[in-house]
């Protein structure tokens, strides 16, 4: 039994299909020929291609050779967790490795959970256009835990936009040793799979942190300097300290948010923060700006400094170009309050229950009126 296998779930029943089919899938298929790790990939095409060309299939490789290939029946919905579970189990039964790393490929909206395209302009993880469906954070956690039992992935990676969010990472922390994702939009060509898998084969890393480092080191290689992109690898064991420091920061902010000077300092900190989209900002950048804008030694100043210190400890690797102070972990901070289903789902995340961040956001938005 080999030590490590890779599982890649290409959810391409959407407008990213050409990039998945013509770029990433070909890279993945080329990599095993030069001795990469045992891996399995499942690829989903839009429904019209499924019916005409058999556009859903799973392939497994070992030692540079294809060892299994199945073509699925049409009608697979990547927004339904049962299909992800079926693939992961097939992969495990086929490759029979001691440990696994998994990558979820497709659209991502980070902490904003949406199941229907009409709910929000961004798409959620593994969005399926034919079914107008997607995997919410809670659904993804549930299906991955069902697959793992008491085990953990070495690395849980997302080749998807906005998934390096502390709000989501905390939910996934028990599932993996290292979490790899981007704070920002991922360029359409996605991760350089051939380079990553080749480097893994050459270096044979034993630790999850080394795997995360290799992915981050190779991430920017194919992107031009004019193409903004970033990626990070985070040790999930350190997230509890990050959460506790954010909780302390929230307590201090809520106690002082009625103070006009403090509210102005908060507004100024947010105005200068590194943004990746309207609702998502870099957490280190926000905390660092609060350190600068609040009086030295004040509760907010000290709590924000502690957030920065804890982030430095748990971020194992970070690569960024085109973003000032993209340090590896983002957080939801929308300019206007979210309502309805999105707000309800967000408030139910473990991160919000532990830190009351959603309550702070509500207080901040009330102060803007």
CA 345 → CA 13, 135, 136, 174, 228, distances in Å? 24, 13, 9, 20, 30
Half-sphere exposure of 162 (CA within 13 A, CB side): 23
H or E segment and range at residue 230: strand 229-235
Mean pLDDT of 10-14: 81
Query: With 0-12 CB in 10 A as exposed, 13-18 as middle and 19+ as buried, what is 93?
Result: exposed
In this structure, the chain runs to a length of 369
pLDDT at residue 115 tops 50 = no
Q: What is the pLDDT of residues 40-73, one digit of tens each?
A: 888 877 655 544 455 567 888 777 777 888 776 5
pLDDT at residue 119 tops 50 = no
Contact 235, 314 (CB under 8 A): yes
Query: Which residues contact residue 308 at a Cβ distance below 8 angstroms, ignoring those fewer than 6 apart?
Result: 284, 287, 288, 291
Q: Please give the residue that has the higher pLDDT: either 339 or 10.
A: 10
pLDDT of residue 32: 63
Q: Predicted confidence band at 278 (pLDDT cuts at 50, 70, 90)?
A: confident
Q: Return the minimum-mean-pLDDT range out of 270-274, 299-303, 333-337.
A: 333-337
pLDDT of residue 336: 83
Share of the chain above pLDDT 70, in %: 90
Neighbour-count burial for 316-334, b at 16+ CB within 10 Å, e otherwise: bbbbbeebeebbbbbbbbb
Q: How far apart are CA 195 and CA 164, in angstroms?
A: 22
Q: How far apart are CA 283 and CA 112, in angstroms?
A: 16
Q: What is the pLDDT of residues 313-329, one digit of tens each?
A: 999 999 999 887 789 99
Q: Return the minimum-mean-pLDDT range out of 5-14, 133-142, 286-295, 337-346.
A: 337-346
Q: Which residue has the tokens 């891996």?
A: 39
Closest of 121, 134, 368, 167 to residue 283, by C-alpha: 167
Query: With 0-12 CB in 10 A as exposed, 13-18 as middle and 19+ as buried, what is 228?
Result: middle
Pairing of strands 99-105, 65-71: unpaired
Coil, helix or strand for 157?
strand
pLDDT of residue 122: 37
Radius of gyration of the chain from its Cα atoms, rounded to whole angstroms: 21
pLDDT of residue 232: 97
Mean pLDDT of 128-138: 83
Q: How far apart are CA 368 and CA 124, in angstroms?
A: 29
pLDDT at residue 140 tops 70 = yes
Q: What is the pLDDT of residues 219-255, one digit of tens each?
A: 988 777 788 899 999 999 999 999 999 999 999 999 9
First to last CA, the chain: 61
Q: Predicted confidence band at 116 (pLDDT cuts at 50, 70, 90)?
A: very low
Q: Predicted confidence band at 309 (pLDDT cuts at 50, 70, 90)?
A: very high
Kindly report the average pLDDT of the chain as a whole number: 86
Q: Please give the residue that has the higher pLDDT: either 184 or 324.
A: 184
Q: Please give the residue that has the higher pLDDT: either 279 or 260.
A: 260
CA 125 → CA 11, 108, 129, 252, 324, distances in Å? 9, 4, 12, 34, 26
Angle, helices 239-256 vs 357-367, to 10°: value is 30
What secondary structure does DSSP assign to 29-41, as a single string?
Answer: HHGGGGT---EEE
pLDDT of residue 348: 86
Question: Long-range contacts of range 120-125, CB-CB < 8 Å, 24 or more positions apart?
Answer: 120/342, 122/161, 122/162, 122/277, 123/14, 124/79, 125/11, 125/158, 125/160, 125/163
Structure tokens at 344: 């309800």
Contact 175, 156 (CB under 8 A): yes
The domain spans of the chain are 4-237, 240-314+329-367
Closest of 180, 177, 264 to residue 214, by C-alpha: 180
4-237: CATH class = alpha beta
At CA 5, angle to CA 174 and CA 98, rounded to 5? 70
Helix-, strand-, coil-residue percentages of the chain, each rounded to 5: 45, 20, 30
Mean pLDDT of 260-276: 90
């Amino acid at each position: 039994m080999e030590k490590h296998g890779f599982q890649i779930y290409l959810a391409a029943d959407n407008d990213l299909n050409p990039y998945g089919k013509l770029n990433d899938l070909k890279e993945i298929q080329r990599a095993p020929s030069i001795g990469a790790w045992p891996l399995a990939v499942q690829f989903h095409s839009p429904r019209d291609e499924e019916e005409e060309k058999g556009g859903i299939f799973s392939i497994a490789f070992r030692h540079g050779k294809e060892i299994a290939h199945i073509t699925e029946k049409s009608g697979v919905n990547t927004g339904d967790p049962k299909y992800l579970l079926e693939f992961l189990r097939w992969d495990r039964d086929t490759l029979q490795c001691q440990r696994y790393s998994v990558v979820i490929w497709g659209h991502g909206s980070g902490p904003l959970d949406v199941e229907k395209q009409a709910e929000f302009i961004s798409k959620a993880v593994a969005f399926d256009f034919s079914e107008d469906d997607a995997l919410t954070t809670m659904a993804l956690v549930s299906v991955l835990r069902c697959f793992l039992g008491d085990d953990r992935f070495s690395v849980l990676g997302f080749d998807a936009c906005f998934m390096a969010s502390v709000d989501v990472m905390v939910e996934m922390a028990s599932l993996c040793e290292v979490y790899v994702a981007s704070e920002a939009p991922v360029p359409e060509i996605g991760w350089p799979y051939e380079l990553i898998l080749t480097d893994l084969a050459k270096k044979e890393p034993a630790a999850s942190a080394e795997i995360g480092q290799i992915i981050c080191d190779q991430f920017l290689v194919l992107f031009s300097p004019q193409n903004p992109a970033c990626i990070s690898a985070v040790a999930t064991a350190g997230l509890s300290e990050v959460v506790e420091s954010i909780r302390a920061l929230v307590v201090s902010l809520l106690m002082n948010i009625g103070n006009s000077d403090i509210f102005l300092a908060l507004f100024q900190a947010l105005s200068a923060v590194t943004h990746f989209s309207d609702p998502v900002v870099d957490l280190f950048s926000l905390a660092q700006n609060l350190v600068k804008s609040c009086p030295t030694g004040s509760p907010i100043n000290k709590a924000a400094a502690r957030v920065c210190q804890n982030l430095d400890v748990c971020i194992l690797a970070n690569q960024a170009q085109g973003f000032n102070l993209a340090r590896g972990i983002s957080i939801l901070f929308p300019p206007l309050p979210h309502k309805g289903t999105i707000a309800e789902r967000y408030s139910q995340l473990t991160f919000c229950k532990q830190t009351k961040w959603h309550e702070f956001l509500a207080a901040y938005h009330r102060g803007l009126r």
